[in-house]
């Protein structure tokens, strides 16, 4: 029982972190930007985010949905996708444990999540994501 709880907690944290990166992918790929450079930053004033501003879901809540420097709104999609990723990974961890099936599911669902975000926002399904 404790082992399963630890798997679920770890899977949630991992899923939220992966989903945070998928938000970056969904923002930068349609614009033709790099996934590596520049580091995570505010799209309005350009300041580079500090590590404590990058903690999935919790940073959004702590910052009350606004940039720490300029006060611009952080899109609600950001914590929603992070939470969805965390819950999805946690559910897979709970059901399948640490198995190859779980790994295949989280990889597949990660691709589907980024494709869905880009499609909903830009009406595109990019070959870069599919190949």
Sorted by where each begins, the domain ranges of the chain are 2-130
Look at residue 128 in the predicted model and tell me its pLDDT.
73
End-to-end CA distance of the chain: 39
pLDDT tens, N- to C-terminus, the chain (131 residues): 789 999 999 999 999 999 999 999 999 999 888 988 999 999 899 899 999 999 999 999 999 999 999 999 999 999 999 999 999 999 999 999 999 999 999 999 999 999 999 999 999 887 777 66
Alpha carbon of 19 to those of 1, 23, 70: distances in Å? 27, 6, 25
Pull the structure tokens for residue 112.
């589907």
pTM (2 decimals)? Answer: 0.91
Rounded to the nearest 10 degrees, what angle do helices 77-96 and 100-122 cross at?
160
């Amino acid at each position: 029982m404790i082992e399963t709880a630890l798997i679920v907690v770890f899977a949630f944290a991992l899923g939220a972190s992966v989903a945070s990166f998928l938000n970056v992918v969904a923002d930068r790929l349609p614009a033709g930007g790099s996934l590596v450079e520049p580091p995570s930053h505010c799209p309005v004033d350009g300041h580079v985010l500090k590590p404590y501003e990058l903690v999935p879901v919790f940073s959004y809540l702590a910052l009350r949905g606004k940039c720490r420097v300029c006060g611009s709104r952080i899109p609600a999609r950001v914590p929603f996708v992070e939470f969805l990723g965390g819950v999805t990974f946690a559910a897979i961890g709970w059901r399948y444990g640490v198995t190859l099936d779980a790994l295949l599911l989280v990889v597949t669902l990660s691709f589907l999540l980024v494709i869905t975000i880009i499609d909903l926002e830009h009406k595109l399904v990019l070959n870069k994501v599919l190949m």
